[in-house]
Structure 1
Amino acid sequence: MSKTHKFATNINCGGCIAKVTPFINAVEVIETWSVDTTNPQKILTVQTATDSPEQVVEAVKKAGFKIEPLS
Structure 2
Amino acid sequence: MNTKSNEKGSFVFKTNINCGGCVAKITPFLDATDGIETWTVDTENRDKILSVACNGISKNEIIDTVQKAGFKIEALD
Runs of 4+ in structure 1 deviating by more than 3 angstroms, as ranges, are none
Please give the per-residue CA displacement for 1:4-61, whole angstroms capped at 9, x wherever unaligned. 1000000000000000011111111000000000100000000010362111111100
Q: For the residues of structure 1 that align with 2:9 and 2:44, how far apart are their CA atoms?
A: 23
Query: Where does the alignment leave 5 or more consecutive residues of structure 2 unmatched?
Result: 1-6
CA contact (8 A) 2:34 2:57 kept: no
Instruction: State percent identity of aligned pairs.
Output: 52
- Residue 38 of structure 1 corresponds to 44
Which of structures 1 and 2 has the bigger CA Rg? 2
RMSD, matched Cα: 1.1
Aligned residues: 71
